[in-house]
Structure 1
């Protein structure tokens, strides 16, 4: 289940985003400061092309889904990303079920609530597990591109899913 993020979620989101596993599969791998996070939150709240949602699994907050670059007129498109409370889910033995649930909920939200025609995203080339999961959800990979972030060279692979190609329940 997804719900809108609120100011009460800001510290929780920051703690999850700064978990080592989440930083290593993100374009920006540095530890995000409270000031950086606060600035991001202010910008998100003021931007009508962005949404931040909290994923609940078994009634507990355990992840963040972001939508950005939303174009809700003409061809309806947007980008997305997510991260989970990897440490907390691992302790509860709930990582895989929560991961499947957040991806399903995010795709459903994109196409059923936001009514997008196409959902875009990015994945790092070395993140093979997420790439496999994306394929399970019928995302298509584009050609990778090399970028420098936080002093490291990474390969970023664009992904997309068209409404007509989404996996039926």
Structure 2
């Protein structure tokens, strides 16, 4: 389940984002300070082009989905996500949580408002070495663009743009057809 993030979620969001597994697949890979995170949350929670959502499974928060650059006129948005990698790995729910957060985020992006963004184009980026997310992106119908380099506070990073159009999402087949 996805729900809007609140001030009470700030400590979990920061702790999870700073986990090594999440930093290693992020464009910005430095440890984020509490002050930096508070400033981001202050901006993000007031920005009408952003939605920060908590992913919960079995009534337990397990991850964060961020939609940004939401343009209702162009019917597009960008997104990113991360999980409580350490917690889900320790309790054996990592694969389940990872699969569910991606599927629920994509469904939310294309769902009608007020329960979703009601967009036609979802965009993001992935690092070349993040093969597991790249493979899941392909299963969900995302296409990859040409890799490009961008300069961050941490140095130069190569990213691969990904996009998914509403009409390109795979349809689920019945068990008989599979």
Common topology (TM > 0.5): yes
Determine if contact 1:67/1:81 at 8 Å carries over to the other structure.
yes
In the alignment, what sits opposite 1:145?
A: 148
- Correspondence for 1:83: 82
Write the distance in 1 (CA, Å) between the matches of 2:68 and 2:94. Answer: 25
Alignment of 1:65-76 (within 5 A): 65-73=65-73, 75-76=74-75
Kept in 1, the 8 Å contact 2:28–2:154? The answer is no
Q: Name the SS for the 1:46 alignment partner.
A: coil
- Give the equivalent residue in structure 2 for 1:126: 129
Structure 1 stretches of 4+ with a deviation exceeding 2 A read 147-154
The residue number in structure 2 matching 1:135 is 138
2:91 corresponds to? 92
TM-score of the superposed pair, with normalisation by structure 2: 0.91
Q: Which residue does the alignment assign to 1:155?
A: 158
Counterpart contact for 1:141–1:158, Cα < 8 Å = yes
Q: Which has the higher helix share?
A: 1
Structure 2 SS opposite 1:138: coil
SS in 1 for 2:45: helix
Task: Give 1:30's aligned residue.
Answer: 30
Question: Per the alignment, in what secondary structure is the counterpart of residue 55 of structure 2?
Answer: strand
Can you list the C-alpha shifts for 1:75-95, whole angstroms capped at 9, x where unaligned? Answer: 300000000000000011011
Contact 2:30 2:154 (C-alpha < 8 Å) held by counterparts: no
Q: For the Cα contact (< 8 Å) 2:29–2:154, is it kept in 1? A: no
Q: Does 1:17 align with 2:49?
A: no
Gaps of at least 5 residues in structure 2 are: 173-178
Q: Which runs of 5+ in 1 are unaligned?
A: none
* Greater Cα radius of gyration, structure 1 or 2: 2
Q: Would you say 1:54 and 2:57 are equivalent positions?
A: no
Note the alpha carbon deviations across 1:82-131, whole angstroms, 9 max, x for none.
00000000011011111110011100100002110000000011111111
The aligned length equals 168
Alignment RMSD: 1.0
